[in-house]
């Protein structure tokens, strides 16, 4: 938000305070030479006004006066852009843990029911069932893996249980293979942090707040323990989000910033690198934060400043300045899952490492069992 405020104060200097000099540095930042300082100097009545713009809060309104709103902004989390990640347990992801547990219970219960049915039929029709009951676990496993079983129950009761399990395992195996194929063909980008709750519940990505802003006090005084944790567990502070944009893009930490600074950082990143390295969380942390210039209580300049600000806003100059400063953001504001990829990429070893580990584990135990039988 620096550039629009810089231009507003330049117009104000030329219009109603001729002795104010706006000093613009080479990096685009600015300072105002004259009786203007920061918000603390306003409160101490050392200066007449401070450019800011500052977020208007009830606490600040009791200490100084604010001009008409220069801009209304939202606060959200800015972090490095999520990308495709490989997980060795991805082959288990088609179903949730609860579904896997329920299916395991179903397999066990079907095995018990089939064995019980065979035992009852053998007792009723007087045929041996010891060997048949031993075949029950193999039948359940072969059916589950879509392998044609070489044995079927001889009587109707056992066949009814077997048919039920055949149908259930067919649905389960078809669903699993279909979902897994879709996951491998069109990988889903997992967004680890998309809200304040996500931010404080994870431990991989530290976060920081802007020093001297309203954010630390806002979160610290919140009655919501989740929001309060944002202030108590932060890893430190940053001067502002614009100066920390490269560290955020490199994934060193996340930050809670105003939307204007985040979009400008995205525009800079895409203009410099041609790629999107920043991501704005979809859930807003704070909505409609009003930003304005700060004045000493009962300042004689505030009324004239309001007139200049309203003129700049109503004439469309503010929107034009914002548009000139924030460009090349349309691609980066799209969800990470829509990022362009160079055709269909070959699967890496890490993507299918899980099944290989299961296979290696099975072979290892098979060899151990065979070795034990050989020497027993």
Interatomic CA distance for residues 313 and 329, integer angstroms = 23
CA-to-CA dists, residue 345 to 71, 151, 187, 341, angstroms: 45, 43, 11, 8
- CB-count burial class (<10 Å; 0-12, 13-18, 19+) for 26: exposed
Both structure tokens of 173: 């195996």
Beta bridge partners of 279: 79
Place 37 in a pLDDT band, splitting at 50, 70 and 90. Answer: very low
Read off the pLDDT of residues 259-287 as tens digits, 9 standing for 90 and up: 888 999 999 999 888 888 999 998 898 88
For the ranges 12-21, 87-96, 124-133, 283-292, the one whose mean pLDDT is highest = 283-292
Q: Quote the pTM value.
A: 0.62
Where are the chain's structural domains?
90-186, 346-376
Q: Residue 91 contacts by C-beta under 8 Å, 6 or more apart in sequence?
A: 180, 352, 354, 355
Q: Is the peptide bond before 104 cis (omega within 30 degrees of 0)?
A: no
Helix (H, G, I), strand (E, B) or coil at 279: strand
Beta bridge partners of 278: 80
The string of DSSP letters for 35-64 reads SB--HHHHHTTSSSEEEEEEE--HHHHTTS
Q: Is the pLDDT of residue 79 over 90?
A: yes
Read off the pLDDT of residues 149-179 as tens digits, 9 standing for 90 and up: 777 777 777 788 888 888 888 888 888 888 8
């Amino acid at each position: 938000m620096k550039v629009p405020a810089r231009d507003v104060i330049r117009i104000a200097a030329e219009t109603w305070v001729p002795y104010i000099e706006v000093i613009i540095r080479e990096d685009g930042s600015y300072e105002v030479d004259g009786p203007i300082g920061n918000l603390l100097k306003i409160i101490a009545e050392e200066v007449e006004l401070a450019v800011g713009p500052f977020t208007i809060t009830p606490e600040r309104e009791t200490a100084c006066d604010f001009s008409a709103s220069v801009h209304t902004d939202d606060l959200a989390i800015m972090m490095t852009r999520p990308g495709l990640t490989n997980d060795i347990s991805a082959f288990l992801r088609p179903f949730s843990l609860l579904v896997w547990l329920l299916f395991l219970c179903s397999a066990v219960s079907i095995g018990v029911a089939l064995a019980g049915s065979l035992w009852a039929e053998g007792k009723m029709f007087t045929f041996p069932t010891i060997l048949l009951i031993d075949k029950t676990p193999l039948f359940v496993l072969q059916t589950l893996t879509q392998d044609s079983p070489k044995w079927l129950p001889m009587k109707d009761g056992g066949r009814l249980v077997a048919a039920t399990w055949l149908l259930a395992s067919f649905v389960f195996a078809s669903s699993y293979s279909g979902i897994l194929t879709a996951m491998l063909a069109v990988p889903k980008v997992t967004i680890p942090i998309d809200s304040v709750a996500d931010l404080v519940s994870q431990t991989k990505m530290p976060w920081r707040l802007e020093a001297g802003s309203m954010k630390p006090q806002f979160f610290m005084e919140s009655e919501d323990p989740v929001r309060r944790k944002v202030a108590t567990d932060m890893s430190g502070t940053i001067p502002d989000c614009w100066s920390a944009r490269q560290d955020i893009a490199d994934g060193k930490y996340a930050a809670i910033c105003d939307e204007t600074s985040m979009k400008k950082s995205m525009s800079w990143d895409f203009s410099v690198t041609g790629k999107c390295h920043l991501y704005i969380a979809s859930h807003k942390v704070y909505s409609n934060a009003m930003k304005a210039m700060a004045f000493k209580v009962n300042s004689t300049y505030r009324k004239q400043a309001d007139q200049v600000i309203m003129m700049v806003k109503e004439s469309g100059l503010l929107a034009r300045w914002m548009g000139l400063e924030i460009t090349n953001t349309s691609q980066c504001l799209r969800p990470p899952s829509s990022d362009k990829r160079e055709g269909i990429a070959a699967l890496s070893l890490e993507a299918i490492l899980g099944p290989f580990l299961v296979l290696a584990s099975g072979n290892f135990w098979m060899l151990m069992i065979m070795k034990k039988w050989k020497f027993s």
